[in-house]
Copies of this chain bind each other. A is one copy, B any other.
Amino acid sequence: MDESIGLVETQYFTFAHPPHEMRLESGETLGPVTLAYETYGRLNEDKTNAILLHHALSGDAHAAGYHEGDKKPGWWDSMIGPGKAFDTNLYYVICSNVLGGCKGSTGPSSVNPKTGRPYGLDFPTITLKDMVDAQRHLIDHFGIEKLLAVAGGSMGGMQALQWLVSYPYRISASIPIATTAKHSPQQIAFNEVGRQAIMADPNWNDGNYYGGEGPAKGLSVARMIGHITYMSDVSMAEKFGRRFRDERKPFKFSADFEVEGYLRYRGDSFIKRFDANSYLYITKAMDYFDISDNKSLHEVFKGIEAKVMALAFKSDWLYPAYQSHEIVRACKLAGVDITYCEIYSTYGHDAFLLEVEEETHLIKHFLRRVYHGYEVTDEFEI
C-alpha cells in the first residue's frame, strides 16, 4: 500500500502526419500532432483495465512517480500507484499532456513545420473537444477499444465530461472532479484578466517571443490571480493569516505579508515552467467549454451507458458545487448512472489535489464497481 511507482519516463506519440492532419472544431487543421504521455501499471491482455487521467490548466503528462533526478513526484502521485486510488496493481493508468500544452505535446511553442519557427499565434484555436480527440488517437494507438475510466479535476474534469459526450461507447466510466459543464462568466472573467496581464506585457510581442525574454511578468501576474482562486478565504487565513514576512517595519510595496510572498513565489516559479501562449490557448479553450452546446444538458447526456461519479468540494468557489449539481441533475434526467459526493474541505479548488483520503476511498470503490460489475468490499481487497 501507498508505495511510489518509482522512476518513470515521458513518452511521445505522433500522429496526423500531413496530409492526414487533424481537423479541429474551429475547422482548421493541424499536423503532425505529438502527445507527450506517461503510463503506470500494466495493460491486461484484454486491454480492459486502462484508465485515462486528465490534467488541469497547468499540469502535464507526469502524473505519478519520479523522473530521474527529481525530488518531487508527479502532480497526482498521492492518487496513483500500488494500492492507491488509481491502483497500478489493478489498472493501467495513462496521462497525456493536452493538445496546446507546453510539456511535450504540440502547442503554440512547437515548431510549425510550414515555417520552421514556433507557431506562436499561428497555432489554431483549440477546444476541449480537440484535446479529447487527440487523446482518442493515443488510445487507438494503444489498441484500447474501451477505457475503463476517464478522470480528472478542474479542466481535467471537463475532459472527463467531454469523453462522455464525444466517445460514450469508448469508456465504461467517467469521474469529473471539481468541474463544470460550462464555464461561467466569472470563470471566464478570471481567465480573461490573466490573459490581459500576459498580453499587456510588452515582451509578449503578439506571441512572438520565442528565443527572447518572453512575458515573464505578465505570466506571473496571471498565475498569481489563479492561485488566489485555487485557495479559499479560510485556507488563506489558516495558512497565512495577517502575518508579516519578517520583523522589519513594513515598507511601501515590498511583499510585507506572507500571503504576498507566497503569491510572488508562485508567480516566479511558474514562469520557469510554463509557456505564456499555451496559457492563452488553454484558458480560452476552457472558456469556450459548454458541453451542452446550446441544447439542454440532459439531452446531451441521453443514452450514455457509462457510469459517472462526480465529486465537488464545499469550499471550492472557483468551481462551486452548484456546477456539479447541474451535471448530476442532467445525468439523472437523462437516466445516466451517476454517483455524487460533495466532500467537506477548507482547501478551496486545490482540494481535488489535497483531499486524498476521501477521494481515494470514493474512487477506489467506484472503480471496482465498474471493473467487477459489483461492489467489492474492503475484505476482498487485493
Contacts and interface: CB of A to CB of B under 8 A. Distances in A.
Given A221-B197, A221-B200, A252-B125, A263 B189 contact: yes
A322 to B, nearest CB: 9
A201 B197 CA distance: 9
A185 B241 contact: yes
Interface string A262-279: 011001000000000000
Given A200-B217, A252-B121, A236 B185 contact: yes
Contact of A188 (B183, B192, B260, B284): B260
Contacts of A125: 250-252
A236 B190 CA distance: 12
Interface in A155-210: 182-186, 188-190, 192-193, 195-197, 199-202
Interface string A341-371: 0000000000000000000000000000000
Contact of A220 (B196, B240, B253): B196
Contacts of A340: none
A197 B201 CA distance: 9
A193 B228 contact: yes
A287 interface: yes
Interface in A218-253: 218, 220-221, 224-225, 228, 231, 233, 236-237, 239-242, 249-253
Contacts of A241: 185
B290 A259 contact: no
A189 to B, nearest CB: 5
A253 B201 contact: no
A108 to B, nearest CB: 11
A320 interface: yes
A250 B290 CA distance: 14
Nearest to A250: B288
List the 9 shortest-distance A-B pairs measured between CB atoms, nearest first. A200-B217, A185-B236, A185-B259, A185-B240, A186-B233, A192-B260, A193-B224, A189-B228, A186-B236
